[in-house]
Structure 1
Amino acid sequence: MAAPAGVATECRLTVQGGTDRESDASLLARLLKIIRRPPAGGNRYDYKNWALSVDGVTSAYVYPLRRGLGTVDIAITSADGVPSEETVRRVQAYIDEMRPVTAKNALVLKPTVTAVPVTVQVKLDGIDLDEAKRRIRTALKEYFDTLIPGDGLTVSQIEAAISNVDGVIDRRLTAPTANRAADTVNRIEWFKAGAINVTEMPS
């Protein structure tokens, strides 16, 4: 049956805040966590599980007493990193419904990303500079992906990630130059790789 004149038969919508279809392995891991740590009246694992049960949340990190006695803060991430405001609102509403009455206040928030520029000179053997850049960027992304919201930045680990790249036989890191603690007082800081500048050491 044809649509009436002037009525479109197509409807296009933009959808945000969702996640890719969950894999069987991911589902099994979540179920095992719930079995191993069943609901316990509002401990930190309950808050984590409550947050993870909301669509669009891939990770949750709980910070008890961050704002004083009776407070619990939960930082959430999504598949794209920082979640949408809508996802934060839905998680907040669900946790407000589930949390025990003895919990004075629970706050759901998204981490604040701080991009960390990396500048390094390298000495190469067997690879050219373009290939070295590609490998170093991959290695640094893998390192920064191990950091969760609230984790500090360790310069020696950045240096190790670069030194372990095949074809790099020496390196001189000029940025960052010092370890950095994440700000977890005014926000939940999350260090991510910023611009990566790789050049060859002078001969």
Structure 2
Amino acid sequence: DVFIFPKRRGLGSLDVAITAAGNPPNSPSSAILALVQTALEEYSGFWGDVRAYAPTKEYLNITALVTGSVSQTDVEKVIRDYVGLLKPGETFVASTLVSQIRALPGVTDVQLTPATNQAPTLNVFVTGWLRIGTLTVTML
């Protein structure tokens, strides 16, 4: 996938974060980045300030305490799917994940850590991309 960040490094710049297909998506190879960079430079001409790059993975350690008759595997899948779909620069919204877990049949309660939203680093030097570090699901 391609994520465009105009003016990230200043007026006239165009930065393109690239991710590789997969489940969850992953970082692209250096060969893919080089091909994209070449294509951008050819398209933009000598005046273009363009840059293709891989976003920086930032890892979230997630713990879920779940009450109910749901399977641990189903809860883990919901968590992995949610975080796996986060785009570079996108914030982890704890309440959204809790809602998705609570929507599973048999779930009566969820306690999630982190319990607050987590924003990746997003500045002129870094485009953070939230990924799962450690995942611990405990059924109560």
TM-score, length-scaled by structure 2: 0.88
Indicate yes or no: 2:37 matched with 1:92: yes
| Structure 1 residue 101, shift from structure 2 partner | 4.3
Q: Identify, as 1 or 2, the structure richer in helix.
A: 1
Aligned to 1:177: 115
Aligned residues of 1:141 and 1:193 also touching (Cα < 8 A): yes
- For residues 40-68 of structure 1, the C-alpha deviation after alignment (integer angstroms, 9 at most, x for no partner) is xxxxxxxxxxxxxxxxxxx1010000000
Bigger RCO of structures 1 and 2 (CA < 8 A, at least 6 apart): 2
Aligned residues of 1:122 and 1:168 also touching (Cα < 8 A): yes
Aligned residues of 1:70 and 1:102 also touching (Cα < 8 A): no
Aligned to 1:157, the other structure's residue is in SS state helix
What code does the residue aligned with 2:39 have? Y
| Structure 1 residue 116, shift from structure 2 partner | 1.4
What code does the residue aligned with 1:112 have? T
List aligned pairs for 1:43-122, cutoff 5 A.
59-80=1-22, 81-103=26-48, 105-122=49-66
Identity %: 27
Moved over 3 A (4+): none
| Structure 1 residue 82, shift from structure 2 partner | 0.7
Mapped to 1, the partners of 2:76 and 2:34 lie a distance apart of: 35
Structure 1: 5+ residue stretches without partners: 1-58
Mapped to 2, the partners of 1:147 and 1:159 lie a distance apart of: 15
Aligned residues of 1:115 and 1:193 also touching (Cα < 8 A): yes
Mapped to 1, the partners of 2:59 and 2:135 lie a distance apart of: 10
Mapped to 1, the partners of 2:66 and 2:94 lie a distance apart of: 16
Mapped to 2, the partners of 1:93 and 1:193 lie a distance apart of: 32
| Structure 1 residue 111, shift from structure 2 partner | 1.1
What code does the residue aligned with 1:79 have? A
Q: CA RMSD in A?
A: 1.6
Indicate yes or no: 2:104 matched with 1:160: no
Equivalent of 2:81 in 142, 145, 152: 142
Mapped to 2, the partners of 1:149 and 1:136 lie a distance apart of: 24
Mapped to 2, the partners of 1:166 and 1:113 lie a distance apart of: 32
TM-score, length-scaled by structure 1: 0.62
Mapped to 2, the partners of 1:199 and 1:73 lie a distance apart of: 41
Aligned to 1:19: none
Mapped to 1, the partners of 2:84 and 2:139 lie a distance apart of: 26
